[in-house]
Structure 1
Amino acid sequence: MSLPIFIKEKRKLLNLTQQNLADKVSVGIRFIRDLEQGKSTLRMDKVNQVLNLFGQELGLVSLNKNTILQAAAIFVAAFCLGVYYDAKSVATMLQPVEKEKGFHF
């Protein structure tokens, strides 16, 4: 799951508005908006402030060929089951793979 999707889903699960979340973690609402929209140049310390509310923190994730193949298999299976992702969600999910491995989807 991508970071923007994780943050948005957790925020909604707790019935928080973007402003409520910003207030709870002492960041600006603009930061929350940028985070949920997948801005790639955010401060890690502020991202961790938000993630800490949900019991999480930033960390390293190994991306290898198997990870990419697993992600592709999930998309194919979801498609076959009639689950569709909008283009922006797919692009956001695959962005780390593109950056680290040089793949272009």
Structure 2
Amino acid sequence: MSWLWLLLAGAVEVAWSQSIRPTEGFTRPLPTLLCFALAAAAIYPLTLAMREIPAGTAYAVFTGIGAAGALTLGVLVHGESLTAARALALALIVGGVVLANLVGA
């Protein structure tokens, strides 16, 4: 169950990453409120996951999911370019998450 909590936390972190830009530097109240709510919503399942998964592993996987998800959505939704360097960075992030999972198991 801890890994499901961790996957949920990572998915919410991806949503949170997408909620930052619409705040326009935290000058728009409703987007800012949503941004803060998503940040809190991402942390809660992370704390549940850390009951059984070592903190270093859980945090590495959590941030890896967030980074990979944000990069992927940037390319697919926001039309950001996928350069060879960004593709390599994404592969390294995913590889790091897999490795952290194997080491933490």
Higher share of residues assigned helix: 2
TM-score (norm 1): 0.29
Structure possessing the higher relative contact order (Cα contacts under 8 Å, 6 or more residues apart): 2
